[in-house]
RNA sequence: GCGGGCGUGAUGGAAUGGUAGACAUAUCGGACUUAAAAUCCGAAGGGCUGACGCCCGUGUGGGUUCGAGUCCCACCGCCCGCACCA
């Protein structure tokens, strides 16, 4: 008997697809378009199981959509700029460009055996000058529309990578890539004006119905909208005012001090005359302002000696303090402290002996605040004391709204919405990135490079033997003449954050060879991405930046209207995990072992390993399974089938050797079954055709539902079930042939090679990829009889098989006659009988 | 602290408010085999019972409902995100 040989089958069908050029995407007027995209990979050099899972999910969707009559775009590219290439150049020599393109070639050749339905003719890498040149054109257009600007800024300096990090890229005070403790430095940097769009980016989240609620919420929290008011405080020395921003103006009665940021203009003005203030401010400047450091730091302040008049109570004067916890770049850089209703302010007040005064109490409880601030939920009703706006027993939220109105009416303040989102700093002091296309001229200042001179191509002749940016020490590249006046000038040597590269690649895929960033006709046809699939780790940065870019590209005419939200549907898939095998060396330090070196919990020499529960596959923990090895021993279809089978796609899936083995066995079984059916005698007798075909239609229905709703694991369970039914069927050849061909079609999105092989083996016409998706026959989904569970008081006590169309009254009669019910009734009458047609009968006794 | 998610057999996990545990792994039994592997068939939540059956069971405690894994409230545990944000 022939056996299932995936290596031979898979190579054959991949060639057949190539020959028929089936995955090439062309605009078409007579089919609806469908754009499916997986987050493109960084070319590290090796594909891993996470890639396999990500691309397989996209492939299932793409192939399913093809067979349901859609014109599908399913491209692939490389997020190819970034530090690992430079790190490799520093560590092992060579050039980032060579390293990157070699890796791309390796990964492409590892990816191709998966049999993905990708239109490879659209492939590009973000480090191709053809791509980053268009990105430079975008930058110049953004510059013209003032969507990008330069400012002096305190930046997060990563001393290891010698580069600036965005706030968002600082994690626990450490660089998100290097893990080095981040320092502060002041540099002139380029920024995208994403904060201008904060409100819109937040509001538009509500329309993203097909995004996970979790991701929308994370973005909402990141943007961080808060409604408050800017209040003017007049200095008692007559030297002007201090503006404070507050979200709790209703607590103004309890204000007992003002705190300003160390870099607030008022603080800076006092520095010259007051050495003790200068010393404090200096100390604050040295302080790390990263989130983690700020959290750990003690809340400190110093009295400036200034006072301001309370805006509501003329006779009250408030001292002005400098606080190390006040941030200059949020709000106005000044706040009023209300110790009674804010824990931080209360701690500060107790430390420096400032007054604590309640603005409200909880109803019926007039205990003054002690060491714990009174901060009830904003929806809770509180009793205000002698409130200036005339309110008494209301919720905090109502009080805030009323107080803002009151301040505005009196002309003492202006209601304002603040966002936590800051502008996106994109300058990187690094070689392997997209050069920022501007020139610095002593006469003309910052001059944009002329578009006809794009791309500004990275020079190849650079070395990495000294830290810092090689572009800074490359005179023939750096020194140019000013595009405006022609005098000697200097190129900008900073390059762009790699998040820029990934913020518009999805648009470029619609016309990857266009000599403008996009082609509007192609973009209008293919955009938006109908289904985007990727990891939850990109929930904030990448997706938010892409949403900003889509808007900015619309403003600059590079995308048509309607593409502001470029991803119609988003799916965030879980990771592939594996157990970790660990032993300890003689010093007790952990030593990790690869899964292939462990059999039955033991190493080859018999040493027992400690098994640590499943975690994300990582090189350092050695819990990695190489997809190439799996493909070599079982084939791509097995790898694809397994990563989809065990867990819901949004959750992590644990890779197990036995699971992969089982997937392979199942596919072999299906293949053998096909072989057996093909060899059947077409004229032979058989029975149960109808049962088989009914099961088949039920399977069509269930699998279609599963694929449509990302329930791949459930769809696979149904396919297992139907395979078991088919393999036991005694039906005639025609019915069995129909069943196996339909099974192949239903499996085709997941195991496309095996499906093609079965299709051909059974004499199917053309390629299975061109065959229309099977449609379940409604009539075959209904059966003549139905078995209803009979419950007594909600507990299952028996069952009853009745004609499917029997009416309720008769079902009730039949149910009451069943043995389980008569026994429970014991001669009495039922209190109530619930009959849910086709579902259940419940008798209440 | 705030926000979100999750909690079901030995394990991964099924289950539009309607038969809890589909499907798979691991386990056990049987067939085939000299034997093993492979393959095929079958069993299997816990407890009581000779058996028919009965009781208990989806983190804990309540509630809504004829009926709750599913909805509501409180709590416990785990995971994730965010945070001197005024």
Whole-number pLDDT of residue A382: 80
Task: Provide the pLDDT confidence category of residue A37 given band limits of 50, 70 and 90.
Answer: very high
Residue that the structure tokens 């075909």 belong to: A693
Which nucleotide, over all strands, has the C1' atom closest to the CA of A218? Answer: B81
Q: End-to-end distance of chain A based on CA atoms, in angstroms?
A: 61
Whole-number pLDDT of residue A711: 87
Query: Which residues 690-719 of chain A have a CB under 7 Å from nucleic chain B?
Result: 711, 713-714, 716-717
Close Cβ partners of A202 (under 8 Å, ≥ 6 residues apart): A219, A220, A223, A225, A419
Task: Provide the pLDDT confidence category of residue A177 given band limits of 50, 70 and 90.
Answer: low
Task: Provide the pLDDT confidence category of residue A292 given band limits of 50, 70 and 90.
Answer: very low
Task: Provide the pLDDT confidence category of residue A286 given band limits of 50, 70 and 90.
Answer: low
Query: Which residues 410-429 of chain A have a CB under 7 Å from nucleic chain B?
Result: 418, 420
Residue A333 has pLDDT above 70, yes or no: yes
Q: Which two tokens stand for residue A469?
A: 């940016």
Distance CA A775, CA A28 (A): 24
Q: Is the Cα dihedral A20, A26, A29, A34 positive or negative?
A: positive
Whole-number pLDDT of residue A294: 54
Whole-number pLDDT of residue A28: 92
Under 8 Å between Cβ of A340 and A374: yes
Hey, is A558 helix, strand or coil? coil
Hey, is A381 helix, strand or coil? strand
Distance CA A188, CA A407 (A): 38
Count of CB atoms within 10 A of residue A397's CB?
14
Distance CA A97, CA A112 (A): 22
Count of CB atoms within 10 A of residue A212's CB?
16
Q: Which two tokens stand for residue A64?
A: 């399913």
> Separation of CA A530 and C1' B42 in angstroms?
47
Query: Which residues 573-602 of chain A have a CB under 7 Å from nucleic chain B?
Result: none
Under 8 Å between Cβ of A75 and A118: yes
Task: Provide the pLDDT confidence category of residue A487 given band limits of 50, 70 and 90.
Answer: very high
More confident residue, A511 or A540: A511
Distance CA A155, CA A613 (A): 40
Whole-number pLDDT of residue A298: 66
* For residues A742-750, average pLDDT: 96
CA A171 to chain centre: 17
Q: Which nucleotides of B are covered by protein (CB under 7 A)?
A: 3-5, 12-16, 18-20, 22-26, 38-41, 54-55, 66-68, 80-86
Query: Which segments of A562-688 does DSSP mark as H helices, in order?
Result: 627-634, 636-645, 657-678
pLDDT digits (tens, 9 = 90+) for A560-572: 999 999 999 998 8
Query: Of A750, A727, A753, whose CA–CA distance to A740 is shortest?
Result: A727
**In A236-282, at which residue ranges do the beta strands (DSSP E only) sit?**
241-246, 257-260
Close Cβ partners of A8 (under 8 Å, ≥ 6 residues apart): none
Residue A708 has pLDDT above 70, yes or no: yes
Q: What angle do CA A706, A710, A712 make, to 5 degrees?
A: 60
**Does any strand B atom come closer than 7 Å to the Cβ of A195?**
no
* For residues A123-135, average pLDDT: 96
Question: Could you tell me what percentage of chain A is helix, strand and coil, using 3-state DSSP and rounding each to the nearest 5?
Answer: 40, 20, 35
Q: Which of A171-175, A272-276, A619-623, A664-668 has the lowest mean pLDDT?
A: A171-175
Task: Provide the pLDDT confidence category of residue A151 given band limits of 50, 70 and 90.
Answer: confident
**Does any strand B atom come closer than 7 Å to the Cβ of A646?**
yes
Task: Tell me the range of A226-240, A651-665, A762-776 where mean pLDDT is highest.
Answer: A762-776
Query: Of A256, A255, A281, A249, whose CA–CA distance to A268 is shortest?
Result: A281
pLDDT digits (tens, 9 = 90+) for A8-20: 999 999 999 999 9
Which nucleotide, over all strands, has the C1' atom closest to the CA of A420? Answer: B85
Task: Tell me the range of A234-243, A597-606, A782-791, A805-814 where mean pLDDT is highest.
Answer: A234-243
Task: Tell me the range of A61-70, A231-240, A594-603 where mean pLDDT is highest.
Answer: A61-70
pLDDT digits (tens, 9 = 90+) for A587-626: 777 777 777 777 766 777 777 777 666 667 766 677 777 8
Q: Which of A245-259, A437-451, A720-734 has the lowest mean pLDDT?
A: A245-259
Which nucleotide, over all strands, has the C1' atom closest to the CA of A659? Answer: B25
A528 cis-preceded (ω within 30 degrees of 0): yes
Distance CA A583, CA A427 (A): 45
Tell me A458's DSSP state. Answer: P
Task: Provide the pLDDT confidence category of residue A468 given band limits of 50, 70 and 90.
Answer: confident
> Is ipTM > 0.90 here?
no
Q: Which of A141-145, A235-239, A301-305, A814-818 has the lowest mean pLDDT?
A: A814-818
* For residues A470-478, average pLDDT: 92
Under 8 Å between Cβ of A49 and A595: no
pTM: 0.88
Whole-number pLDDT of residue A73: 98
Burial label for A685, CB within 10 Å (0-12, 13-18, 19+), is exposed
Task: Provide the pLDDT confidence category of residue A170 given band limits of 50, 70 and 90.
Answer: low
Identify the H or E element spanning A735: helix A733-747
Whole-number pLDDT of residue A123: 97
Considering chain A, what is the average pLDDT of its residues?
86
Give the gyration radius of chain A's Cα atoms: 34
Query: Of A335, A317, A318, whose CA–CA distance to A326 is shortest?
Result: A335
Hey, is A477 helix, strand or coil? helix
Distance CA A379, CA A382 (A): 9
Whole-number pLDDT of residue A224: 81
Q: Which two tokens stand for residue A228?
A: 């408050």
């Amino acid at each position: 008997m022939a056996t299932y040989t995936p290596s031979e089958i898979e190579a054959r069908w991949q060639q057949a697809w190539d020959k028929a050029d089936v995955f090439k995407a062309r605009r078409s007027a007579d089919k609806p378009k469908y754009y499916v995209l997986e987050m493109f990979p960084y070319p590290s050099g090796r594909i891993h199981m996470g890639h396999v899972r990500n691309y397989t999910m996209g492939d299932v969707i793409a192939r399913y959509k093809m067979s349901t009559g859609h014109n599908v775009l399913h491209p692939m590219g490389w997020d190819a700029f970034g530090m690992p290439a430079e790190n490799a150049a520093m560590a092992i020599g060579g050039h980032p460009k060579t390293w990157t393109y070699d890796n791309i070639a390796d990964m492409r050749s590892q990816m191709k055996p998966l049999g993905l339905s990708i239109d490879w003719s659209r492939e590009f890498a973000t480090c191709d000058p053809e791509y980053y040149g268009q990105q430079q054109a975008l930058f110049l257009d953004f510059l013209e529309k003032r969507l990008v600007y330069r400012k002096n800024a305190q930046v997060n300096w990563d001393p290891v990578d010698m580069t600036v990090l965005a706030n968002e890229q600082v994690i626990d005070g450490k660089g998100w890539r290097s893990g080095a403790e981040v320092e502060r430095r002041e540099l002139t940097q380029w920024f995208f004006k994403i904060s201008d769009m904060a409100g819109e980016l937040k509001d538009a989240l509500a329309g993203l119905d097909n995004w996970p609620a979790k991701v929308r919420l994370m973005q909402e929290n990141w943007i961080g909208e808060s409604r408050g008011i800017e209040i003017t405080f007049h200095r008692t020395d007559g030297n002007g005012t201090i503006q404070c921003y507050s979200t709790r103006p209703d607590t103004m009665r309890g204000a007992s001090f003002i705190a300003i940021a160390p870099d607030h203009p008022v603080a800076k003005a006092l520095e010259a005359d007051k050495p003790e203030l200068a010393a404090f401010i200096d100390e604050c400047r040295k302080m790390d302002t990263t989130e983690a450091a700020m959290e750990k730091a003690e809340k400190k302040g110093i009295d400036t000696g200034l006072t301001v008049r309370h805006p509501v109570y003329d006779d009250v004067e408030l001292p002005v303090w400098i606080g190390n916890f006040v941030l200059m770049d949020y709000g106005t850089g000044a706040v009023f402290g209300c110790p009674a209703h804010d824990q931080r302010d209360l701690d500060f007040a107790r430390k420096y002996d400032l007054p604590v005064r309640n603005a409200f109490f909880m109803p019926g409880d007039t205990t003054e605040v002690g060491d714990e601030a009174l901060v009830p939920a904003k929806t809770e009703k509180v009793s205000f004391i002698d409130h200036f706006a005339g309110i008494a027993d209301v919720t905090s939220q109502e009080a805030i709204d009323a107080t803002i109105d009151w301040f505005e009416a009196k002309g003492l303040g202006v209601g304002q919405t603040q966002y936590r989102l800051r502008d996106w700093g994109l300058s990187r002091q690094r070689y392997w990135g997209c050069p920022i296309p501007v020139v610095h001229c002593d006469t003309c200042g910052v001059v944009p490079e002329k578009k006809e001179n794009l791309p500004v191509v990275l020079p190849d002749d650079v070395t990495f033997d000294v830290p810092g940016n090689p572009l800074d020490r490359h005179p023939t590249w750096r020194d140019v003449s000013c595009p405006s006046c022609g005098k000697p000038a200097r190129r900008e040597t900073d390059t762009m954050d790699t998040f820029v590269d990934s913020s518009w690649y999805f648009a470029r895929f619609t016309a990857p060879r266009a000599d403008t960033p996009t082609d509007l006709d192609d973009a209008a046809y293919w955009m938006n991405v109908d289904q985007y699939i990727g990891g939850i780790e990109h929930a904030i940065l990448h997706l938010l930046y892409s949403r900003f870019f889509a808007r900015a590209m619309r403003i600059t005419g590079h995308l048509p209207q309607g593409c502001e939200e470029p991803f119609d549907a988003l799916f965030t898939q879980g990771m592939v995990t594996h157990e970790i095998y660990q032993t300890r060396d003689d010093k007790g330090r952990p030593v990790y072992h690869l899964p292939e070196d462990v059999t039955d919990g033991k190493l080859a020499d018999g040493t027992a390993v400690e098994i640590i529960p499943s975690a994300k596959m990582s090189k350092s923990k050695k819990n990695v399974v190489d997809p190439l090895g799996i493909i070599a021993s079982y084939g791509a279809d097995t790898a694809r089938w397994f990563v989809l089978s065990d867990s819901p796609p949004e959750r992590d899936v644990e890779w197990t050797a036995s699971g992969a083995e089982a997937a392979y066995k199942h596919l072999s079984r299906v293949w053998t079954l096909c072989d057996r059916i093909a060899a059947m005698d077409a004229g032979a007798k058989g029975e149960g055709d109808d049962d088989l075909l009914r099961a088949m239609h039920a399977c069509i229905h269930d699998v279609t539902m599963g694929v449509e709703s990302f329930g791949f694991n459930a769809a696979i369970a149904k396919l297992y079930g139907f395979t078991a039914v088919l393999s036991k069927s005694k039906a005639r050849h025609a019915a069995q042939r129909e069943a196996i061909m339909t099974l192949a079609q239903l499996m085709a999105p997941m195991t496309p090679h095996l499906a093609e092989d079965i299709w051909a083996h059974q004499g199917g016409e053309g390629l299975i990829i061109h065959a229309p998706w099977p449609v379940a026959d409604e009539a075959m989904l209904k059966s003549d009889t139905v078995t209803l569970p009979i419950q007594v008081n909600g507990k299952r006590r028996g069952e009853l098989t009745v004609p499917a169309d029997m009416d309720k009254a008769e079902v009730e009669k039949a149910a009451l006659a069943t043995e389980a019910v008569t026994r429970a009734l014991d001669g009495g009458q039922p209190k109530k009988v619930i009959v849910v047609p086709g579902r259940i009968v419940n008798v209440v006794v």
